[in-house]
Amino acid sequence: MDVLDKNFCPTLEEIGKYVRNPVFIQFCSEIKERYKCMEKIEFSSCSWEKGWNVKFKKVGKTLCAIYPRKGYFTVMVVVGVKEKDAVQTVLPDCNAQLQRIYDQTREGNGQKWLMIDLEDKGSMYDDTLRLIDIRRGRTVTR
């Protein structure tokens, strides 16, 4: 699979083979199960993250976008005005690396677009799901 070939739309399984990390399919399955939504595979022409990505949306709102990499994947979670207070409340209990990502991400139009690299099913994985829970409007507890 060529993530930059916009003439060939890959399946989720083909993206999983490209990533070569079982956590990718586990994460996608968990999102689908947890939020009762399906993936939408899209090609982005944006110069910042050009190529195929996987988006999960619920009631018209993007929960997250996933960018495939070799051996890992990057999850983009937007923290908007509505989510900011809740995220800042749980952030001290989150993985130190996620706290750094949040602190170092510039805010624009009241939003932070967090780019979180995942390669295993550890605390970053769990904390990323917590952020998506907040994005979805769910109450989050540790």
pLDDT in tens, 120-132: 999 999 999 999 9
Q: Which CATH class is domain 12-136?
A: alpha beta
* Amino acid present at 15: I
Where do the H-state alpha helices sit in 36-107? 81-90, 96-104
Q: What is the pLDDT, as a whole number, of residue 5? A: 85
For residue range 35-58, list pLDDT tens digits in order. 999 999 999 987 677 899 999 998
Contact assessment for residue 31 and residue 79, using Cβ atoms and an 8 Å cutoff: no
- Say what the pTM is: 0.91
Q: Which residues contact 112 (CB under 8 A, 6 or more apart)?
A: 78, 79, 84, 102, 105, 106
> In whole angstroms, how large is the CA radius of gyration of the chain?
15
Please report where in the chains the tokens 């602190």 appear, as a residue: 103
Of the candidates 115, 106, 44, 13, the residue with the CA atom closest to the CA atom of residue 73: 115
* Amino acid present at 7: N
Give the confidence band of 105 by pLDDT, cuts at 50, 70, 90. very high
Separation of alpha carbons 84 and 90, rounded Å: 10
